[in-house]
Amino acid sequence: YESMTTEELDAAIAQLEADVERLRAKGLSLDMARGKPSPEQVDLSRPMLDALASTSDLTDGGVDAANYGCPDGLPSARALMADILDVDVANVVLGGSSSLNIMSDVVLHGWVKGVRGCEPQVLQAQRGPLKFLCPSPGYDRHFAVSANAGFENVPVAMGPDGPDMDEVRRLVEGDPAVKGIWCVPKYSNPTGITYSDETVRRMAALKPAAPDFRIFWDNAYVVHDLTDTPDELLEVFGAVAEAGNDDLVYEFASTSKVTFPGSGIAAVAASAADADDLRAWFGIERVCCDKITQLAHARWLPNAAAVRAHMAEQARVLRPRFELVERKLTEGLGELGCATWSHPKGGYFVSFDGPEGSAKAIVSLAAELGVKMTGAGATWPYGCDPRDTNIRIAPSYPTLDDLSAALDVFVACVRLVSARLARAKRA
């Protein structure tokens, strides 16, 4: 649009407006907003519901799953999560069914109780604001957790290898008010990148100014590969040990996008001393969590290899959706050069960047045409994308037909908004 004459551009805008009106007349109601597995994917886990019956033995490693006890979680379910994360089972504690719930709880533990005997952060905050680093674009619910506790969220640039580590190091090592950083190290939400070995090593080698600083390593997409050549993430606790550090990382994961979202197993792994600190906190708020669900998971998915085989089935369902996004965006926008997008090898999202100042207008026009997207700006702390370019596309849930229709709307919106922006620059 930038290279058109003004007459050509006006004609193009008129054409695009007509296209948009045609789409509006269809009265669509489609949703590309949240990273939910499709019903087809979820159905693949239905056989797990048959793993237990009224006649089943409900003991696991000598523990009765049908009663109180074993607050760290059933032995076989802990072993499963340790195997998935490639960490020492001794330092894995299972929570309820939501990793986000554990993350929020662990953040509040530092705020209310204090990390490993440090002064509670709520008291430290009376002397000046405490900060959480938010690699952006990132996951909006992470940012909500730290803001909800009372932290000031500070954006840090995300690149193709992970967060800008020079900036992370400067902030973490220079400012004792920095208490945490959110990381989705594999198939990051939303950019889809996996942290490089160098990024993991630099994270693991941080020497924080604050003794109660921790890295919140949310390995939500650890087994969520879409291709036969998956990204490899360096195991973080090994890197921490290599760097001569110890108590630096809390790692999280869940089976939400492995079996049934919201009805699975969630875990946190930490150093031995940090895991004890968290056990003491969890021990106040619950006797134990849902071991029947843990047992069903462990019986049906006994180890990481079984999980990977199951995830390969899910990838077969997801892959055509990601391929459709790639094809529609390339066909509709490739030649224009006004937008870029990610080409993830796993995870749940495509991260889209339009021209500067376009994202809010695109999302709002798409909503008018009946296509719901994640709110523009949601991938930044406080919903404030400074360049207003980033939009998160979540292609997993809609059927291929619905996704195709939604992408046609999205492309039409990007084209019209981009053309109008180019025109406004000339006015």
- For 172, the token pair is 């973490």
* Interface pick for ligand PMP out of 41, 45, 76, 98 (rule CB under 6 A): 98
Q: By the 8 A CB rule, do 209 and 217 touch? A: no
Decide: is 213 part of the binding site for ligand PMP (CB under 6 A): no
Question: What span, in angstroms and rounded, lies between the C-alpha atoms of 406 and 41?
Answer: 20
| Chosen residue from 111, 132, 139, 217 binding ligand PMP by CB under 6 A | 139
- What stretches of 205-351 show up as alpha helix (H) in DSSP? 236-242, 272-285, 291-300, 304-333
Q: Does 184 bind ligand PMP (CB under 6 A)?
A: yes
- Candidates 85, 94, 100, 206; binder of ligand PMP (CB under 6 A) is 100
Tokens of 312: 């390969």
- The CA dihedral of 29, 33, 39, 43, to the nearest 10 degrees, is 180
Closer residue to ligand PMP, CB minimum distance, 351 or 358: 351
CB-CB contact of 215 with 180 (8 Å): yes
Q: How far is the CB of 222 from ligand PMP (least distance, A)?
A: 11
CB 34 → ligand PMP: shortest distance, Å? 7
| Binding segment (CB under 6 A) for ligand PMP, from list 41-49, 58-66, 92-100, 223-231 | 92-100
C-beta separation of 410 from 393 below 8 A: yes
Task: Name which of 283, 282, 280, 277 is nearest 115 in CA terms.
Answer: 277
- Residue 41 touching ligand PMP (CB under 6 A): no
| Smallest distance, ligand PMP to C-beta of residue 191, A | 12
Residue 49 DSSP code: G
Considering only residues 153, 191, 245, 256, which one is a binding residue for ligand PMP as defined by CB under 6 A? 256
**Which residues ranging from 258 to 317 are in contact with ligand PMP (CB under 6 A)?**
261, 266
Span from 13-21, 96-104, 117-125, 303-311 in contact with ligand PMP (CB under 6 A): 96-104
| Span near ligand PMP by CB under 6 A; candidates 191-199, 253-261, 287-295, 363-371 | 253-261
Please list the helix, strand and coil fractions of the chain in percent, rounded to the nearest 5, in that order: 45, 15, 40
Say which DSSP state 37 is in.
P
Two tokens, residue 272: 């031995």
The interface region with ligand PMP, picked from 243-251, 254-262, 330-338, 400-408 by CB under 6 A, is 254-262
Residues lying near ligand PMP in the complex (CB under 6 A) are found at 35, 98-100, 139, 184, 189, 218, 220, 254, 256, 261, 266
